[in-house]
Amino acid sequence: MKYMSSAGDYKVDRPGRLVGRAGRIAPDLKWPFVGTVAITFVATIVRLLGPLVIKGGIDQGITEGDRQVIVTAAAIFVGLLVVQYFAAAISQWSVAVIGERYLVRLRSVVFSRLLRLDMGFYSRSKSGVLVSRMTSDIESLQEFASEGAAMALTNLLTVIGVAVALGLVDWQMALAVFVVVGVLLGVSVIFQRQARRAYDQVRERIGRVLATLQEGITGVRVVQAFTQEDAQASTFGRVNERYFDANMDAARAISWYFPVVALLRVVALAAVLGIGATRVLDGSLTIGTLVAFLLYLDWFFQPIINLSNVYNLLQSALSAMAKLFELMDEPVVVEDRPGAHDLTEPVAGTVVLDGVSFSYEPDTPVLFDVSVAVDAGERVAIVGETGSGKSTIAKLVMRFYDPTVGTISIDGTDLRDLTERSRSDTLALIPQDGFLFSGTLRENIAYADVSAPDEAVWNVMRAMGIDDWVRSLPEGLDTEVRERGGRFSAGERQLVALARAFLSDPAIIVLDEATSNLDPETEIQVEGALRVLLSGRTSVVIAHRLRSAERADRVVMVDAGRVIAEGTHDELVERSAKYQELVEVWRRGTK
C-alpha cells in the first residue's frame, strides 16, 4: 500500500518532532499556553510552601511547646490553600480551553485534508479506518486534553519544584532520593520503549477492529442471505482477539512498571528515614526538617506516579497524533493548479478528451489514448462492454482522477486549470449506484443547493413525473431516506439521484447508467424529462440499453480502453462490426 509508506517520519519514537508539528497547527494558542504554564507554576509554588509552613510549625511550635506558633502556622497554611485553590482552578480551566480549542482546529484541519484527497486514496483505504482517524484517534487526544493535560502539566511542574525544594531543605537526604530517582528514570526508559510499541499496536489494531466491524454491519444482509453469520463472527473474533492481545501487551508493561515505582518509593522513604534519623540523633538536623522532607518526598513520588498514570493517555495521544499526521501527509494528487480560474460565463459546455491514457494501478492501464470531443449542447452516448472503461472516462471528466497522459478540457480550459468550484458548478455526474445521504428527501434532492425553494424541487419532480410518488409518501418531502437511501427501492433511489442532478442545473451532465434499475416505462418518462430539463446542455450518457445510444447525437464505442468507433447510431451500424454485433444481440433480445 503506497499510502502507508509515506508515514515513516512521524513514528512515535520522535515525540519531539510530533509535538513540534502538533504545535504548528494552532500557532495562535502559543501565548495562551505560556500564560497557562505561568499560572500553573504559581499554583505549584504556593503548594510547595505548605511543607515549609509545617516545618516551621513543628520546629518552632511543637518542639518549643508554643501553641501560638502552631495556630499561626495553621492559619498561614489555610491562607496558602485559598490562593492555591484559585490558581489551580484557573490553571485547570485554561488548560481545558486551550486543549479543546486545539481539538476544534485539529478536527477541522484533518477533515479538510480528507476532503481534498482523491478518489484513488478512497478506494485504497478502508472507510472504517478513515472514520476512526476522525473519531477514535481524535477522541483519544480529547481524553488526554480533558483528563491528562492539566494533570501532566501540574505534575511536571511539581516534580521540578519539589526536586529544587528537596535540594534546598537538605542536600544529603536529597542526594539519596536522587539516586533512587536515577534508578527510576532508567526503569522508565525501558518501560516507555516497551509501552510505546504496545500502544502503537493497539492503535493499529483498533483501526482494523473498527473496519471489520463496519463491514460486518454494512454487509449484514449478504451475510444473512448466505447464512455466513458464524463465519463472519469468527473472523471478527480473530481480529478482536488480536486487539485484546495488543492491549494485554501494554498491560504487561504497566503491571511491572508501577509496582517497581511503588517499591522505589518505599526504598527512598527508608533511605531518607535512615539518613534523617542518624542526623537528627547527632543533632545536625531538626525533626521538623525531617518531617517536611517526608512530606516533600510524597509530593515527589506521587506526581511521578501520576505522570506515569497519564502516560498511557499521553502515549495513546501521541500514537493517535502520528496516525493523524500520516493522513495529513497523504499527497493531494488532484488539486487546482496555481493560477486556476473559473470558466467564463456563460459556459458553453464543450468537453474534449485529448490522447487520454489512464491506469488505477501502476501497471494495469485501463484507458489508452482516448480522444473524444463533445460539442456544446451535444448528447453523446458511450457504449461498450462492461469493464471496458466507460465509467472511468466519466470519472476522469469529473476529475476524480487525473489522466496519466493527455488532457481533458472544458470550453478549452484544462480541467487542472479550473477551480474546483467552477468545475463542480459546471459538471454533474449521476453515478451507477445513486448514493443518498441519510436525512430527508428534500435534503437529498436539494443537496447541491440547500437554499433551493420547495417550488424548484417540486418543479423538477413534476418534470420527471415523480411528484405523485413523493406525495404518496407518508411524510412527503420530509421522508427520512435512511442510510444510503435504504427506505426506497433501487429504482426510486435512482430517481432521487436524477432529481438531485437536475436541480443542480449543470451545463454538462454525465449519466453513468443512471437509469439501469428503472422499468422501461419510467425510464422513458425520465428521458423525456432529461430532454426538457437539459435542453441545450451537453450530456454524456453511458448506458447498456441501446435505446439511449439511438437517441444520442453521436455514439462513442469503447472497447478494452480504446475508442474503436465514433459516429451517429446509423453510421456506426454500417461502419463498425462490433457495434453491429451489439445492436444485433440487443435487437434479438427485444423481440
Give the count of beta carbons closer than 10 Å to the beta carbon of residue 146: 16
Query: Which parts of 244-283 interact with another protein (CB under 8 A)?
Result: 244, 247-248, 251-252, 254-256, 258-260, 262-263, 265-267, 269-270, 273-274, 276-278, 280-281
β-strand 351-361 against 364-374: which pairing, if any? antiparallel
Q: How far apart are CA 31 and CA 39, in angstroms?
A: 12
DSSP per-residue string spanning 180-209: HHHHHHHHHHHHHHHHHHHHHHHHHHHHHH
491 binds ligand ATP (CB under 6 A): yes
When asked if residue 489 is in the footprint of Mg ion (CB under 5 A), the reply is: yes
Who's near 11: CB < 8 A, 6+ residues apart? 200, 322
**By the rule CB under 6 A, 220 interacts with ligand ATP:** no
Q: Choose from another protein, Mg ion, ligand ATP, none: what does 228 bind? Cβ within 5-8 Å by kind.
A: another protein
Site for another protein in 53-82 (CB under 8 A): 54, 57-58, 61-62, 65-67, 70-71, 73-74, 77-78, 81
Q: Which long-range contacts (CB under 8 A, 24 or more apart) does 256-265 make?
A: 256/191, 257/187, 257/188, 257/191, 257/195, 257/308, 258/305, 258/308, 260/187, 261/184, 261/187, 261/301, 261/304, 261/305, 261/308, 262/305, 264/180, 264/183, 264/184, 264/187, 264/301, 265/301, 265/305
Q: How many residues touch another protein (CB under 8 A)?
A: 185
Q: Which is nearer to Mg ion, 455 or 521 (CB)?
A: 521
In the list 28, 282, 345, 361, the residue contacting ligand ATP (rule: CB under 6 A) is: 361
Q: Residue for cell digits 433551493?
A: 452
Helix or strand or coil: residue 514? coil
The least distance separating another protein from the CB of residue 534, rounded to whole angstroms, comes to 16
- Binding positions for another protein, 120-179, rule CB under 8 A: 122-124, 126-128, 130-131, 134-136, 139, 142, 145-146, 150
Q: Report the nearest approach of ligand ATP to the CB of residue 493 (Å).
A: 8
Q: 118 or 411: whose CB is closer to ligand ATP? A: 118
Give the x-and-dash track for 217-246 against another protein (CB under 8 A): xxxxxxxxxxxxx-xxx--xx--xx-xx--
Tell me if 243 contacts ligand ATP by CB under 6 A: no
8 A C-beta contact, residue 267 and residue 180: yes
Segment contacting Mg ion by CB under 5 A, of 211-219, 436-444, 483-491, 527-535: 483-491
Site membership for ligand ATP, residue 224 (CB under 6 A): no
CB of 197 to Mg ion, least distance (A): 51
What is the C-alpha separation between 416 and 414, in angstroms, rounded? 5
All three cell numbers of 428, joined, read 454533474
CB of 517 to Mg ion, least distance (A): 7
**Which span (77-85, 139-147, 290-298, 480-488) binds ligand ATP, by CB under 6 A?**
480-488
Q: Return the C-alpha cell found at 195.
A: 509501552
> Binding of another protein at residue 483 (CB under 8 A)?
yes
DSSP 358-411: EEEETTEEEEEEEEEEE-TT-EEEEEE-TTSSHHHHHHHHTTSS--SEEEEEET
In the complex, least distance from residue 206 CB atom to another protein, rounded to whole angstroms = 8
**CB 17, min distance to another protein, A:** 26
Lay out the site mask for another protein across 416-455 (x = CB under 8 A, - = otherwise): ----xx-xxx-xxx-xxx-x-xx--------xx-x-----
Q: What is the DSSP string of 115-128?
A: HHS-HHHHHHS-HH
Which residues from 388-417 bind another protein, rule CB under 8 A? 390-391, 398, 400
332 binds another protein (CB under 8 A): no
Q: Which is nearer to another protein, 11 or 90 (CB)?
A: 90
* Binding residues for another protein restricted to 495-554, rule: CB under 8 A: 495, 500, 504, 513, 516-524, 544-547, 550
Taking phi over 0 as left and psi of -120 to 50 as alpha, with beta for the rest, 211 belongs to alpha
Nearer to another protein, 13 or 70 (CB): 70
Other Cβ atoms within 10 Å of 413 Cβ, number: 16
Q: In what order do the strands lie in the sheet with 508-512?
A: 427-430, 508-512, 538-542, 379-384, 554-559, 562-567
CB 166 within 8 A of CB 303: no
Check if the beta carbon of residue 314 is closer than 8 Å to that of residue 144: yes
HSE (side-chain half, CA atoms, 13 Å) at 391? 12
Nearer to ligand ATP, 182 or 486 (CB): 486
In the bound state with Mg ion, the residue whose beta carbon lies nearer, of 265 and 493, is 493
- Work out which of 372, 461, 563, 582 binds another protein, going by CB under 8 A: 582
Of 393, 357, 328, the C-alpha closest to 541 is 393
Distance in Å, CB of 260 to another protein, minimum = 7
Residue 187 binds another protein (CB under 8 A): no
φ, ψ dihedrals at 162, nearest 5°: -65, -40
Dihedral angle computed from the Cα positions of residues 38, 40, 42 and 44, in that order, rounded to the nearest 10 degrees: -140
127 binds ligand ATP (CB under 6 A): no
φ and ψ of 474, to 5 deg: -50, -40
CA atoms of 572 and 563, how far apart (whole Å): 13
Figure out which of the listed residues 121, 199, 301, 488 binds ligand ATP, where binding follows CB under 6 A. 488
| 371 to 400: interface string for ligand ATP, x by CB under 6 A | -------------x-xxxxxxx--------
* Min separation Cβ 126 and ligand ATP, Å: 14
When asked if residue 487 is in the footprint of ligand ATP (CB under 6 A), the reply is: yes
Of the candidates 40, 58, 49, the one whose C-alpha atom is nearest the C-alpha of residue 81 is 49
| Lookup: cell for 18 | 510530533
Nearer to Mg ion, 444 or 517 (CB): 517
Residues in contact with Mg ion by CB under 5 A are: 489-490
Residues in contact with ligand ATP by CB under 6 A are: 123, 360-361, 366, 384, 386-392, 486-492, 517
